Amino acid sequence: MQHLTVVIPVRNFRLEQLIASIDALLGCGAKCIDEIIVVDFGSCDPVKLQPHPKTRVIRVEADVWSSSEAINIGVLSAKNSIVAKIDADMLVPKYAGKRLDSAASHLGREDAASMFLAQPIDLPPEIETSEALQLALTARDASVWEEGHVRPRWGEGGLSIFSVDKWNEIGGFDTRFVDWGNEDNDFSRRIRLSGGRVIWMEYGTIVHVWHSPAVTSPDAAQRAASNKALFEKNKSVYRPHRFRHSSFISSIASPDIMTRVRPMVTVAIATSERLNRDQMIAEAILRFQGQLDHDFEIVVVDNGSSKTATKRLRTNLNKLRGVPQPRVEVLESPSIPASRNLAAQVARGRYICVVDDDDLALPNRLIDHLRPLQEDPQAHGSHGGWIDFDDKTGVIEVNQGKSRSIETLLAGTGKITAHPASFYRTDVMRAIPYDESFELGSDLDVAVRQALNGIRIAHTGSFVVLRRFHSENVTRTGYSKQLSSGVRTRSRALEVIGATRYHTIRDRASKQSGLIECTPHYSMQEIVELMPEYAGVWTVFCAAEGIPKANSPEAAEFASKNGAEICTLESGLDQPLVLAFSPVETARTALDLQAQAERVLETPVMILPSDEIAKLRKLRFKWSQLLPKASDRVWLSPTYVDLRELLSDMATLPAEIAKKIIVVSDHTEENESYYLALPHFDGNVEHAVWLIRRCTGRTLTKTSAFNIRRVNEGEY
Amino acid sequence: MRLTVSNDSEYNATVITADVDCNTDATPLLSRVMVFGMMCNNSSPMTALAAVCFFHRYCGEQINFDSIRIGANHLTGIRHIVGSSVNVSTVDGRYNKLSDKSIDMLVCQDDQAGRRLPTDGANTSKRIIWGGDFVNSVSRDSYGYTIPEVYTNARLICDDLHISAALGLIAGAERIRNLYLREKAPSVEKRNLQVALASAGIATIFS
């Protein structure tokens, strides 16, 4: 026999009706019922019942009535794994007892994901509670309720039966619903969205006894409207467990009660022993401080590290304050995919937030990942934009990301997504695990396999992470392995669709490969402030002209002390002059210098990575020398939207190739794009093209200079 | 549940979409099943039966097919898979077309592909080898995986037995005489499936 706990939430409700409801439950013959919990949610007169071995009252203090919270308290206190929630004005007739047994048995043995609902029959006011109870205790079938009216099937839960596991999975009843109304519709909809069916019980399983409205607060109508709006607007499946309105957590619950409910998110970090690991991982974790009201857990999987290093990691993580205590799992052999799979297996959160041990989450990260899932309940996760920064030089690259589909991933249009900017449903990560046969590159592989299997990852429309580049980055140390993994990933996915269909893939990709706008836009200043204070080498500068205090002795002394010089930031024609100070190490020092300079000079002062300025100065080009002869053959790169990206690529080229490269720009009404072009020269052109591809990852295609002229027509 | 069957000719794939349209339907993890390497007859009642096989765990109390007409026999079959209380639209009581029993089919996954398809020599026979995600869910790696002729994402929402049956129905449509299946499954599910396909004129043989 599958046992069942019945939960009855009440606040300032007529005791006579509550007792009738309990008497009907005890008298209906349902063998499954072995516990009835009445949750008294701050009634003015506390509920007092005659002692009964199956019945108990949980009293909590609360100023605001929240049926949702009362039910959650009951479920959390239940001793059985199947729970029936029934309203205090409902009666279960005698003939329906076996239906409860059958429903409990179905949920316990066959299908714990689903829920049972019953349509109430509304009795007319003429039938009083005592008479209705008498009929319920003796009725043989539903024909005795011929004077009643059955309610339509919306999803309302006068009586709902569900498993505690399912309740826990979706986050229970949403306690943002106050009073009552729509919280039950919302709960049943989320059960269905999470893969459970709603099974309607037979006609006449419960009857509703008429009563005058129990809650008559002046703002009841406003609350009902607010509940309705919440139901219509928020379509997300998983919600956080919150006890917003009552004294349950502070006074009733045992200290570990919240360990029974699942957190919203598991922050999953795979790590292995390397230089500065403990410091970087601590920084990575502390970036989640204050996010999502700490409704997350942190799982760190240490793989392939020495026992000493693991012990040191545990000790250091135990010292962290202000975030949930990280849980450390250990894998003896080094494997990033196995670590991530282990994290998914042990995760208790409904979502997994992928975090690298050296990256820094932006303050909005978790909430931004959840936002698109509220609008589209069928999305399986989200990814966002990411900002790369170099730990040593401070050079920054901003990446918005693109639509993540099988076409864009296979066509390899570049900068589509970053694994540490991703967020997935936990069940998806368990269903499509990382391929442990990959040493590196399992992140791209899992993204491609997700897309191939129809998993939808939405974009947050925001930046979510600062991705750190440093000497120990696997992106740097294992670059060639990642490239070969990428080839393997793409080739087998392509084989499924059919290699001959690559043109279709490319065509579809070209329609989806636009950059997704991320807001808010971060200025250089804001990014520097978000970076670790010890990172980078920076140049602080301001416009050379129009400095109010330029000639003051204080300014002269300050400029001299900090090695200021008048120069340009970039080479080329008509560059504006700036007053630049000597490069300084660490972001903290640069920000301090900037603040001092602003105070002394009384003018806006800016910051740029010194390395980037050096690059801009090193690269020379003149627009007047751009165009090759119309008869020439040239090799042309794919489009660059960002000129800095192009310049950065040029800086990676050997000098003899860089000299031969020219820059072509294409202006349209809306924006500007750039190309690297390599004109024909005497020598090994093919080798030069190969070198460019190796250094920049861009494949140049052969074209006629005539086409370039057309691109530039009307430009000057 | 509204079930729609279509073909993506550019990818040579069958696409079956499930849209929740009543308050008893569950939402599957995937609302779109793709079968790469196989196009379907999207007006055949056998395809409707295949769609129900894929989404049977999620169908509530009613099923609507877009543009597929089915007969009473197929309705019986669907009810054996989903449950007797389900209502199905687009049923034409005068539509009695069943299988013409012209081919035998074996549907299996790669590791079972070496087995021979029993035939009596008089009928043509066909074998479908299918696979899903590259990564083995137990070992969590892709060692030994070979790309199958038919690839489907259906494993995320459906058991192997019903996937095999559905792929057989899509590939063979109204021509199947015997459908050979080799998946392990509870006997109740096997029996229900056997009766369901028998209602449409197909003998299911488990081996």
pLDDT digits (tens, 9 = 90+) for A261-313: 899 999 999 999 988 899 999 999 999 999 998 999 999 999 999 999 999 99
Task: List the single residue in B with minimal CA-CA distance to A196.
Answer: B26
A181-229: pLDDT as tens digits: 889 999 999 999 999 999 999 999 999 999 876 555 677 888 888 999 9
Cβ within 8 Å, pair A454-B153: yes
Strands A82-86 and A206-208, how do they pair?
A: unpaired
Contacts of A193 in chain B (CB under 8 A): 27
Q: What is the pLDDT of residues A507-523, one digit of tens each?
A: 898 888 788 889 888 88
A697: alpha, beta or left? (left if phi > 0; alpha if psi -120 to 50): left
Chain B residues whose beta carbon lies within 8 Å of the beta carbon of residue A155: 23
**Percent of chain A scoring above 90 in pLDDT:** 61
Question: Does the pLDDT at position A647 exceed 80?
Answer: no
Q: Are B156 and A197 within 8 A, CB to CB?
A: no
**ipTM beyond cut 0.85:** yes
CB contact under 8 A, A496 and B31: no
The mean per-residue pLDDT over the stretch A12-36 comes to: 94
The string of pLDDT tens digits covering residues A486-497 is 888 989 999 999
Q: What are phi and psi of B198, to 5 degrees?
A: -60, -35
Residue A86, SS3 per DSSP: strand
Q: Does A454 touch chain B (CB under 8 A)?
A: yes
The β-bridge partners of A381 are A424, A457
Q: Do A431 and B156 touch (CB under 8 A)?
A: yes
Task: Give the pLDDT confidence score for residue A673 in this predicted structure.
Answer: 67
Check B133 against A114: CB less than 8 A apart: no
What's the pLDDT at A86?
Answer: 96
Q: pLDDT tens for residues A69-119?
A: 999 999 999 999 999 999 999 999 999 999 999 999 999 988 889 999 999
* Of B170, B156, B166, B165, residue with least CA distance to B30: B156
Q: Which amino acid, residue A429? A: M
- Mean pLDDT over A384-398 rounds to 92
Residue in A242, A115, A279 with CA at minimum distance from that of residue A189: A115
A491 reaches B (C-beta below 8 A): no
Q: DSSP 3-state assignment of A457?
A: strand
CB contact under 8 A, A449 and B31: no
**Contact call for B143 and A437, based on CB within 8 A:** yes
Mean pLDDT of A419-425: 96
Q: Is the Cβ pair A437, B12 closer than 8 Å?
A: no
Beta-ladder partners of A701: A636
Q: Say whether B153 and A194 touch across the interface (CB within 8 A).
A: no
Residue A413 has pLDDT above 80, yes or no: no
For residue A434, list chain B residues with Cβ-Cβ distance below 8 A.
Answer: 135, 140
Among the partner-chain residues A114, A377, A454, the one whose CB lies closest to the CB of B32 is: A454
Residue pair A169/A194 in contact by the 8 Å Cβ criterion: yes
Interface contact A432-B32, CB threshold 8 A? no
- Give the nearest chain B residue to A494 (CA atoms): B147
A153 in contact with chain B, both atoms CB, cutoff 8 A: yes
Judge whether residue A668 has pLDDT over 70.
no
List chain A residues with CB under 8 Å of B147.
492, 495-496
Contacts for A431 with CB less than 8 Å, ≥ 6 apart: B29, B137, B156
Mutate to test the interface with A, among B146, B156, B192 (most CBs of A within 10 A): B156
pLDDT computed for residue A409 by the predictor: 92
pLDDT at residue A669, as a whole number: 46
Mutation target vs B (from A169, A410, A496; most B CBs, 10 A cutoff): A496
Task: Give per-residue pLDDT as tens, A356-373.
Answer: 999 999 999 999 999 999
**How high does pLDDT run on average in chain A?**
88
How buried is residue A273: exposed, middle or buried, by Cβ count under 10 Å (0-12/13-18/19+)?
Answer: middle
> What's the whole-number mean pLDDT along residues A588-596?
95
The CA-to-CA distance between both ends of chain B, in Å, stands at 32
Best mutation target among A335, A453, A505 (most B Cβ atoms within 10 Å) is A453
pLDDT confidence of residue A625: 46
Indicate yes or no: CB of A498 within 8 angstroms of CB of B60.
no
Q: What is the pLDDT of residue A631?
A: 65
Closest CA to A672 of A708, A618, A711: A711
Residue A684 has pLDDT above 90, yes or no: no
Residues of chain B found within 8 Å of residue A504, distances taken between Cβ atoms = 10-11
Are B147 and A452 within 8 A, CB to CB? no
Stronger pLDDT, A661 or A208, i.e. the higher one: A208
Q: Which residue of B has its CA nearest to A186?
A: B23
Per the structure block, which two tokens stand in for A703? 């074209």
All residues of chain B having their beta carbon less than 8 Å from the beta carbon of residue A153 are 23
The confidence score (pLDDT) of residue B12 equals: 93
For the stretch B112-118, contacts whose Cβ atoms lie closer than 8 Å and that sit 24 or more positions apart, written own/partner, are: B112/B182, B115/B182, B117/B180, B118/B180
Which segments in chain B show pLDDT lower than 50?
A: none
Q: What are A597-636's pLDDT values in tens digits?
A: 999 999 999 999 998 888 777 655 444 445 566 666 788 8
Radius of gyration of chain A (CA): 33
Say if residues A703 and A689 touch (Cβ distance below 8 Å): no
Is the CB of B205 inside 8 Å of chain A's CB atoms?
no
CB contact under 8 A, B28 and A192: no
Query: Which whole-number Å values give the CA distances from B139 to A34, A424, A435, A677, B134, in the listed order?
Result: 43, 21, 9, 48, 11
Residues A28-55: what's their mean pLDDT?
94
A428 touches chain B (CB under 8 A): yes
Is B26 within 8 Å of A195 when comparing Cβ atoms?
yes
Residues whose CB falls within 8 Å of the CB of residue B166, separated by 6 or more in sequence, listed in order: B49, B50, B51, B53, B54, B154, B158
Partners of B70 in beta bridges: B91
What pLDDT score does A620 carry? 52
Cβ pair A533, A552 in contact under 8 A: no
Asked if A119 has any chain B CB less than 8 Å from its own CB, the reply is no
The answer to which of A219-223, A318-322, A528-532, B2-6 has the lowest mean pLDDT is: A219-223
Question: Which residue(s) pair with A126 in the sheet?
Answer: none
| Residue type for position A149 | H
Give the best residue of A169, A192, A333 to mutate against chain B (max B CB count within 10 A).
Answer: A192
Q: A314: distance to nearest CA of chain B, Å? A: 27
User: In a mutagenesis test of the B interface, which of A497, A505, A506 is the best target, namely the one with the most B β-carbons within 10 Å?
Assistant: A497
Edge-to-edge strand ranges of the sheet holding A4-10 = A55-60, A33-41, A4-10, A82-86, A159-163, A115-118, A198-200
Quick one: average pLDDT of A154-180?
90
Does residue A641 carry a pLDDT above 80? no
How many angstroms separate the CA of residue A378 from the nearest CA in chain B? 8
Contact B23 A497 (CB under 8 A): no
Query: CB-based burial of residue A151 (10 Å sphere; 0-12 exposed, 13-18 middle, 19+ buried)?
Result: middle
The CA–CA distances, whole Å, from A519 to A372, A383, A516, A676 equal 14, 14, 10, 29
Q: Is the pTM of this model over 0.90?
A: no
| Per-residue confidence (pLDDT) for residue A618, from 0 to 100 | 65
A715 pLDDT tier (thresholds 50, 70, 90): very low
Q: How far apart are CA A28 and CA A30, in angstroms?
A: 6
pLDDT for A627 equals 56
Q: Which of A449, A454, A497 sits opposite B11 (nearest CB)?
A: A497
- Tokens in use for A593? 């210098």
**Residue A708 confidence (pLDDT):** 58
Q: What part of B 20-49 touches A (C-beta under 8 Å)?
A: 20, 23-34, 36-37
**Which residue of A114, A428, A435 is in closest CB contact with B135?**
A435
Q: For residues B44 and B68, what is the distance between their CA atoms, to the nearest angstrom?
A: 7
A331 contacts on B by Cβ (under 8 Å): none
Contact A501 B36 (CB under 8 A): no
Nearest residue, CB atoms, B142 vs list A338, A437, A497: A437
